[in-house]
Amino acid sequence: MTTQTIDGVSVNTQANVYFDGKCVSHGLTLPDGTKLSVGVILPSTLTFNTGAPEIMECVGGSCEYKLDGSNEWVKSSAGEEFSIPGNSKFEIRVTEPYHYICHFGSFTHEHHPAKPAQRAKSRYRFLGRPGHVCRPAVDEAKGRPALRLHRQPGPA
């Protein structure tokens, strides 16, 4: 499932322009204060540093990325996402415009009743389900294909 729209956000109209215009993004703030950026990377190979953990969600095009300490380039296409740890870096290689949503902060995909995941709740709100609910069951109940994360193989 590729995110098409994000409702109820505050948009920073001043663009963030990096690498001589090869990467351009706009900052978004959700009503609960969650920060995102929406942008495009033009054909190039770039290295980004992270402060907080990030999830890069591809909404158009494709890229290959290599996490810090890895020698393996991994492909990510529309509808897929990948995670980058905080205080690290990653390389991204783009041969066509790569449209993305970058989710900032700490991410937990598991529900722990004693310590609820702050970030997952707001992130999954615009995906149409709470983060602690079993995703395939919710998708199946609503008649939509299951969301595939981190390059999980699709149905044959």
> In the structure encoding, which two tokens stand for residue 124, read together?
């999954």
Least confident of 19-23, 104-108, 150-154: 150-154
Q: Taking CA 92 as the corner, what is the angle to CA 96 and CA 87, rounded to the nearest 5 degrees?
A: 150
Grade residue 117 by pLDDT with cuts at 50, 70 and 90: very low
- One-letter amino acid at 10 equals S
The yes-or-no verdict on residue 33 having pLDDT over 90 is no
Indicate which CATH number applies to the domain containing 77.
2.60.120.10
H/E segment holding residue 55:
strand 54-60
Does any domain span residue 70? yes
Domain, as residue range, for 75 = 14-104
Reduced to 3 states, what is the DSSP secondary structure of residue 141? helix
Instruction: Give the residue with greater pLDDT, 55 vs 154.
Output: 55
Count the domains in the chain. Answer: 1
- Of 92, 62, 64, the C-alpha closest to 77 is 62
In a domain, 96, yes or no: yes
- The DSSP bridge partners found for residue 27 are 37
Q: Give a yes or no: residue 7 inside a domain.
A: no
Distance of alpha carbon 123 from alpha carbon 67, whole angstroms: 23
Q: State how far the Cα of 98 lies from the Cα of 42, in Å rounded to an integer.
A: 7
Strands 98-104, 62-67: pairing kind:
unpaired
**122 falls within a domain:** no
* Residue range 41-98, pLDDT digits in tens: 999 999 999 999 999 999 999 999 999 999 999 999 999 999 999 999 999 999 999 9
**Between 23 and 133, the higher pLDDT residue:** 23
Average pLDDT over the chain reads 78
- What are the beta bridge partners of residue 73? none
Q: Decide if 21 is inside a domain.
A: yes
- Is pTM beyond 0.85 here? no
**Number of neighbouring beta carbons within 10 Å of residue 132:** 16
- The pLDDT assigned to 4 comes to 79
Residue 35 lies in a domain: yes
Q: Answer yes or no: is 23 within a domain.
A: yes
In a domain, 123, yes or no: no
Average pLDDT value for residue range 1-27: 89
Looking at the predicted structure, is the pLDDT value of residue 9 above 60?
Answer: yes
The distance between the two most distant Cα atoms of the chain, rounded to a whole number of Å, is 46
- Provide the pLDDT for residue 105: 79
